[in-house]
Amino acid sequence: RGSTWEQVSVYLDGVNLNLASGGGVDLSTLPIGDVARVEVYRGVTPIAYGGSAIGGVVAVETRRPEATGATLEAGGGSFGTWFGGATAALVGAGYGLYAGLHALRSAGDFTFVDDKGTAFDPSDDETVARRNNGSRELDSAIRGHVALPGDRELSVLALGFARDQGLPGYPRFATMQSRLTTRRGVATLAYRSHDDAGPTSVLRAQLYGYGLEQRLRDPLGELVSARTDARDRTFALGAVARMRWAPVDWLAPAVVLDVRRESFTPVELTTGEHGGMSTRLTGVTGAEVALRIGALDLAILPSLRLETSRDVAAGRNNFGRFVAPGPPITRALAIARLGITQSPGDGIALRANVGRYARVPTFLELYGNTGFLRGNRDLEPEHGITADLGGALAWAGGRARLLADATGFVVLSDDLIELQQNASGVARPRNIGSARVLGIESSAELRYGCARLHAQATLTDARDESDSAAAHDKQLPSRPRVHVAVRPELRGIAIGSAELGGYVDLDVTSGNYVDPANLVSVPSRTRVGAGASLGLGRGRVHLIVSADNLTGARESDLLAYPLPGRALYFTVALATQPQSKEP
């Protein structure tokens, strides 16, 4: 919906990973091999999640142990890529334990066309291999639960992630030795009950902690102006409680309480200089009421949330130099929402939302990461009004089933936080006086037997409404107007004891701009992919092959950051219990 990665909250088993990352979440760092399901909430954030986010919420839930067994998988493919993983689960009467470990290694040495920084002179173009683009990573997950008397449960989760990757830089300023190391740990202890506030209640209380360490090593000064070995550490501890109950059929109130403390400490290892610790204390309290009018199939959901924070800012200034802690900064942000849903007939649902959102700058936006992102300590919280109106259709007839929805949305923002990239590829956040985003999003899924067709399209018009003469009424940077994705697929085709599946992907993204004045553009891109799977041994053995960018298109995502060309990957998966594997 015209938002940036910072404006989408990502939750992993109830823990906000935006906080652990200091800002936007790199989805490639999530433990995909241990994920059970992903829920996406567009637009105004539901009350069940503590923070406010203009772009909505992505809620990821790790795998819950359901049956005793183990899996093993391995694979590889283009650009020197190899990966593997193993999981094990033990389930007994009233308890379950799950563990997963996954590793990946890639050289990332795909070829691309280097225009030598002269986009309008093809005579000096050269096809070269991307260098210093390799990565190695390891992630792990441990999850357990034990049943308590009544309908209650206690669960524990521990996640670890480590990655060491090259930072290739701009092609015309290609690096040789610049690297970024990331280490992250998340741990939670959660209590769930359906009894404590009555048989219609759901109570979830959770303690959580996380830590993030990022180390940038630039021994030759290829990314920044001087030789650098910088380490940034972010830590947080928090607690959150959510409860919903239904004292009568037509009324279902819900409340949420969330408190946390975060800290950010930078160190320059080259000189041994330590920056001051920046801290943030945050408290969130919110309430929502679901009012249902059965005769009209109508539900009204008003909610109110108050976020208070107290920052002590130190870290780095806008020039990357360490500064001493300053005076505390206290903020109070009110977030309100009114939602309405109505069902005029079987399989038809109408919905509307209007609300006020607000978001304080993240640590990453305030202090940067000494690499390609510089902080801005002068940032103000962004806030605005968001609204949407749409509907959904669910139809079934014989072996066919159709799910479709469409929504129009508008966002009016003040002090919108926007990343602006300079000629060297370094980005710095800034506040835009005002901005307006209009759009329509739609999706559909048609199922018939083993066949499925998924389609999704989004049209966005994001405009800068500030007083800047150069940027007024121009398209906001890094916000494509059109995105279309289509995926036909086949699942569960039985041939004897084997099971086949396959898909084709089409993804089209229109061009956008890097700068506020819309002078530097990123071209549109079209990518085609495909894959197939073969299941044997009643689902205990799976062979999977997938391909990306089948047309071999030479494209960029960000300015002058080339994307890989044609790629092919394969996977072999073994399991002690029957598994379902999509290609």
Q: Residues 436-458: what's their mean pLDDT?
A: 95
* Whole-number pLDDT of residue 63: 80
Identify any residues that bridge with 287 across adjacent strands, giving them in sequence order.
255, 304
Q: Residues 473-477: what's their mean pLDDT?
A: 90
Counting runs of H as helices and runs of E as strands, what totals does the chain give?
2, 31
- Given a cut of 90, is residue 34 above it in pLDDT? no
Cβ-contact 92, 101 below 8 angstroms: no
Instruction: Write the pLDDT tens digit of every residue in 502-556.
Output: 999 999 999 888 888 898 888 888 999 999 999 998 878 999 999 999 988 877 7
- The token duo for 165 is 């990757």
Q: Tell me what percent of the residues of the chain surpass a pLDDT of 90.
A: 46
- Given a cut of 70, is residue 83 above it in pLDDT? yes
Indicate the pairing of strand 95-106 with strand 135-148.
antiparallel
559 falls in which pLDDT band (50, 70, 90)? Answer: low
Q: Which residue has the higher pLDDT, 252 or 313?
A: 252
Mean pLDDT lowest for which of 57-66, 262-271, 553-562? 553-562
- Given a cut of 80, is residue 400 above it in pLDDT? yes
What's the mean per-residue pLDDT of the chain? 86
Q: Residues 370-394: what's their mean pLDDT?
A: 85
- Given a cut of 90, is residue 454 above it in pLDDT? yes
Q: Residues 409-430: what's their mean pLDDT?
A: 80
* Whole-number pLDDT of residue 20: 45
Q: Tell me what percent of the residues of the chain surpass a pLDDT of 70.
A: 90
- Given a cut of 80, is residue 279 above it in pLDDT? yes
Hey, CA dihedral for 219, 224, 230, 231, is it positive or negative?
negative
- Given a cut of 80, is residue 363 above it in pLDDT? no
Q: What 3-state class would DSSP assign to 533? A: strand
Indicate the pairing of strand 179-193 with strand 228-244.
unpaired
Cβ burial of 92 (10 Å; 0-12, 13-18, 19+) is exposed
Cα–Cα distance measured from residue 264 to residue 546, given in angstroms and rounded to the nearest whole number: 40
Cβ-contact 355, 308 below 8 angstroms: no
Cβ-contact 25, 10 below 8 angstroms: yes
- Given a cut of 80, is residue 18 above it in pLDDT? no
Distances (CA, A) of 522 to 480, 506, 573: 9, 19, 39
In the numeric block, the tokens 């539901």 are attached to 46
163 falls in which pLDDT band (50, 70, 90)? Answer: very high
* Whole-number pLDDT of residue 368: 73
* Whole-number pLDDT of residue 24: 64
579 falls in which pLDDT band (50, 70, 90)? Answer: low
Mean pLDDT lowest for which of 38-42, 85-89, 443-447? 38-42
- The token duo for 546 is 């997938």
Instruction: Write the pLDDT tens digit of every residue in 102-144.
Output: 999 999 999 888 777 676 677 888 888 888 999 999 999 999 9
Cα–Cα distance measured from residue 540 to residue 68, given in angstroms and rounded to the nearest whole number: 14
- Given a cut of 70, is residue 35 above it in pLDDT? yes
Indicate the pairing of strand 525-536 with strand 521-522.
unpaired
Q: Which residue has the higher pLDDT, 492 or 30?
A: 492
Q: Which residue has the higher pLDDT, 124 or 159?
A: 159
Q: Residues 397-414: what's their mean pLDDT?
A: 93
- Given a cut of 50, is residue 68 above it in pLDDT? yes
Backbone φ and ψ for 124, nearest 5 degrees, come out as -105, 10
- Given a cut of 80, is residue 197 above it in pLDDT? no
Q: Which residue has the higher pLDDT, 237 or 44?
A: 237
* Whole-number pLDDT of residue 317: 65
Contacts of 60 (CB under 8 A, 6+ apart): 10, 11, 12, 13, 30, 35, 37, 38
pTM (two decimals): 0.85
> Domains in the chain, ordered, with CATH?
401-583 (2.40.170.20)
21 falls in which pLDDT band (50, 70, 90)? Answer: very low
Contacts of 389 (CB under 8 A, 6+ apart): 351, 352, 407, 408, 409
